[in-house]
Structure 1
Amino acid sequence: MDRPRFQSPRFLILYALAAAGGAIAYVPFLTILLPMQVTSLVGSADVEWLAYCAFAGAVAASIANIAFGWFSDATRNRKSWMLAGLGLSSAVLVSMSHARDMETLIGLIVLWQVFLNMMLAPLAAWAGDCVPDGQKGILGGLLAFSPAAGALAAAIVTYPGLAGPDARLVIVAVIVAACVLPAILFGAPTEFPELNRPTASDEKLIQTTETARSVVVRMWLARLLIQISEAALFAYLYFWFRSVDGSMTDSSVARIFSVILIASIPVALWTGRWADRTGRPILPLPVTAALGSAGLVAMALSFSLETAIAGYVLFGIATSVFLSLHTGQTLRVLPKPQTRGRDLGIFNLTNTGPSLVVPWMAIALVPVFGFSGLFYLLAGLALLAAFLLASLPRPR
């Protein structure tokens, strides 16, 4: 009997570095550099124009991710798309500083999102081509580095006195290239032909269409529900903390957020490794979703800063681990290797879609029921995600 083969640690580490580079490509720009540029262009009208930027970018990213995932499926050449996307998105990012009006800036943002997803979509599918099921838990754990890397990069490029607005964009582009290129040039992954063998019209395909489709739909819905909760907290966290304790500052909230991102890394790594060793790849997902729901309930009930922080820490770590591990296990449940990139693009809608929904939820609930009403609703969504995943069949 053949021993099971595993992907090399070198490739896994370099892939995790490339994934972190993907996060660095957009986190500093969208969270800090873009808002600063919008304010410099339009002054007090910055909130409205930033919303237009976010909407246009989200639509472009959603379409481009599906399209370039599909193109990389058709050509069976992930690396060329990744290299082209890296170069073109970096060039457009650096040119952002030359925009002199909002119409030009929005046009560049749309173009940048298209080229960025030319890199990100094949990068995501590449993991499915190279990482066997027995290592998808540890892959998910390694992906927990990505959000922390994005936040760290944002802190570095905005460090006082380090660089001006134009140079900051160049620094981001250089860091992204330094993270992504080693995997492309030196990753040399072990090949697993069985991971990329097209499905045939046989009993396995019948099982795929009847059973795996339900699994995929539940995985997609569960991620969407958790991402809605994450997006709502990301957008309104500062305002909520201020409502609990007026002494809270933006730097205090940023520190709490950073601690959560860092703490989630060892938890995700340990949990992913446990899932691989025990053959229970899905189990951590409903557990972490339920813990995230509990954290939201604790936040809704909080009347002191200490309990508010405790509830948010529970929610933040649980959902960060959920999203990292979910990404790895999504590669396990997608039924057709020949359309892996396209299907991951459809899953990517769970990342971009919530930003279009959350503001309307907050507008409808917060003025009437306060933040507690919003948190109770989000807790219900997270608990629904846990139920959707708890009933999934155990993979063989």
Structure 2
Amino acid sequence: MTAYPDRIFSAGGAGRSTLLVPVLGALGYAGCVVAYLPLLTLLLPLRIEQIAGEARFGVLATAMIAGAAMASVSGIVFGWLSDLSLERGGGRRAWIAAGLVATIVSYLGIAGARTPEMLVVAVMVFQVSLNIALAPLVALLAEESLDRQKGLLSGLLAGAQPLGAVMGPLLATWTTPALGLRLGVIAIVAIVCLAPLLALSARPAAQAVERRVVVSSRDMAIAWISRLMVQISGNVLFAYLLFFMEQVAAPAARSAVPAQVGGLIFMANLVPLPLALVFGRWSDRSGRRKPFLMAAVALDVVGLVVMACATDLTAAAIGFGLFSIGWTTFLTLQIGFVMQLLPNPRRRGRDLGLINLSNTVPVLIGPALAWWLATPRSFATLFFALAALSLLGGLAMLGVTGRK
């Protein structure tokens, strides 16, 4: 087994702790989550309700599908372009900074949209802008963190969700400002989160000193399919959570549901953080990640079944909490697993862009499932179908043979 130094030296010769990349990388990733999570889970549905009224289901589905299509293509393109920049000595940080600026500019289009058509186009532009930053960022984390820290990195990435989720209830209860001012607050938080990583100088690829493991294309395909199936449930649930909670709430309490949903999203994302950190570090030490993935997906499935059977806000909230703990923990641990499966260190950005299709394709599939299986009066059939998909996706990881 290769011996690892306690400190890794940058190209300039100055030493720094190996923890800097996981910590600042997770903080930067949190900035990207802040940039999209409160917008897509609360602010966009609320704005669509204002503009589209009874047609909100169709408009939201159109916005999510069109945005996901743009994100799918741009994630691969900008990941690949950052690969080329790295080969030529330019690095990935310039792309991340450019994407941050483009995302902030795209908020102007969302805030200024006055029709459903304008809003859909603005969401498409936003998704491209976000992926200019996000695709190179994930590739940077894969190459600048040690394999023996991938579990820790995965656990820290789970902390991005609570930071993004806390913005939801704050902005939902802050009713006086216009949408543009709320998006301005999001932009400021994203800048603060990404600035330390952008200021950190690039380090040599850590994987060059680690033992390489031959990875088969079959393992990569299985991991991709697994992530796709589990992601579908989360994409549907977060997009339609507000509408579902309004359905199970008592009529007199429905006006308070948006703020309650924001608080629920925050708590459901905060609770998985310690579990993801413990599981991630434990998997680093044991060298086995599959048992922890199986435990996480079991919670995901139980939560969806509880939500399918829920008839009031309390039961729905409990189910959503269980689901979110399992879903978040599974996906954060699995991305560390996937980073170890990447076959070509010179094309991490491109390959992670392809992996990212398992995050964006569900947004194409999910709204179609919701349109087909959900009604304004019942989400039960939809949630049972999502539970089955999550279970199959989790079990698929047992088929990966290159890693434990």
**1:117 aligned residue:** 131
2:87 matched to 1:74? Answer: no
Which string of whole-angstrom CA distances, capped at 9 and with x for unpartnered residues, describes residues 156-203 of structure 1?
A: 344426743332222222211111121010x34643354499x9xxxx
Task: Tell me: CA distance 1:256–1:115, structure 2 relative to 1, closer, same or farther (3 Å).
Answer: closer
**1:183 aligned residue:** 197
2:298 matched to 1:290? Answer: yes
Task: Tell me: CA distance 1:34–1:314, structure 2 relative to 1, closer, same or farther (3 Å).
Answer: closer
Note if contact 1:8-1:189 (Cα within 8 Å) is conserved in structure 2.
no
* Within-5 A mapping of 1:240-255: 240-241=244-245, 246=250, 249=254, 250=257, 251-255=259-263
2:217 matched to 1:217? Answer: no
2:387 matched to 1:379? Answer: yes
Note if contact 1:11-1:189 (Cα within 8 Å) is conserved in structure 2.
no
**Percent identity between the two aligned chains:** 34
Task: Tell me: CA distance 1:246–1:157, structure 2 relative to 1, closer, same or farther (3 Å).
Answer: closer
**1:24 aligned residue:** 34
Task: Tell me: CA distance 1:173–1:356, structure 2 relative to 1, closer, same or farther (3 Å).
Answer: same
Moved more, 376-385 or 46-55: 46-55
Shift, 1:352, TM fit:
1.7
**1:108 aligned residue:** 122
**1:234 aligned residue:** 238
Note if contact 1:300-1:373 (Cα within 8 Å) is conserved in structure 2.
yes
**1:388 aligned residue:** 396
Q: Which amino acid aligns with 2:138?
A: A
Moved more, 285-294 or 118-127: 285-294
* Within-5 A mapping of 1:1-396: 3-5=3-5, 8-39=18-49, 41=51, 45-76=55-86, 77-160=91-174, 163-185=177-199, 187-188=200-201, 190-192=203-205, 194-195=207-208, 207-208=214-215, 212-241=216-245, 246=250, 249=254, 250=257, 251-301=259-309, 308-366=316-374, 371-393=379-401, 395=403
Shift, 1:322, TM fit:
0.6
Q: Which amino acid aligns with 1:121?
A: A
SS for the counterpart of 2:304 is helix
Q: Which amino acid aligns with 2:217?
A: R
Moved more, 272-281 or 7-16: 7-16
Task: Tell me: CA distance 1:141–1:93, structure 2 relative to 1, closer, same or farther (3 Å).
Answer: same
Distance in 2 (CA, whole Å) between partners of 1:242 and 1:42 is: 17
Task: Tell me: CA distance 1:159–1:223, structure 2 relative to 1, closer, same or farther (3 Å).
Answer: same
Moved more, 304-313 or 62-71: 304-313
Which string of whole-angstrom CA distances, capped at 9 and with x for unpartnered residues, describes residues 188-237 of structure 1?
A: 4643354499x9xxxx7xx54xxx21111111111111111112322444
SS for the counterpart of 2:290 is coil
- In structure 2, runs of 5+ residues without a counterpart are 7-16
Shift, 1:47, TM fit:
4.4
Task: Tell me: CA distance 1:118–1:277, structure 2 relative to 1, closer, same or farther (3 Å).
Answer: same
SS for the counterpart of 1:353 is helix
Distance in 1 (CA, whole Å) between partners of 2:344 and 2:209 is: 9
Note if contact 1:61-1:117 (Cα within 8 Å) is conserved in structure 2.
yes
Distance in 1 (CA, whole Å) between partners of 2:394 and 2:52 is: 43
Task: Tell me: CA distance 1:180–1:368, structure 2 relative to 1, closer, same or farther (3 Å).
Answer: closer
Moved more, 41-50 or 117-126: 41-50
- In structure 1, runs of 5+ residues without a counterpart are none
Q: Which amino acid aligns with 1:341?
A: G
Note if contact 1:55-1:356 (Cα within 8 Å) is conserved in structure 2.
yes
Q: Which amino acid aligns with 2:397?
A: L
Note if contact 1:140-1:328 (Cα within 8 Å) is conserved in structure 2.
yes
Q: Which amino acid aligns with 1:20?
A: A
Task: Tell me: CA distance 1:366–1:73, structure 2 relative to 1, closer, same or farther (3 Å).
Answer: same
Q: Which amino acid aligns with 1:124?
A: V
Task: Tell me: CA distance 1:274–1:254, structure 2 relative to 1, closer, same or farther (3 Å).
Answer: same
Note if contact 1:195-1:337 (Cα within 8 Å) is conserved in structure 2.
no
How many residue pairs are counted as aligned between the two chains?
A: 385
Note if contact 1:196-1:338 (Cα within 8 Å) is conserved in structure 2.
no
Which string of whole-angstrom CA distances, capped at 9 and with x for unpartnered residues, describes residues 139-169 of structure 1?
A: 0100111121111123334442674333222
Cα RMSD, aligned residues only: 3.0
Moved more, 82-91 or 62-71: 82-91
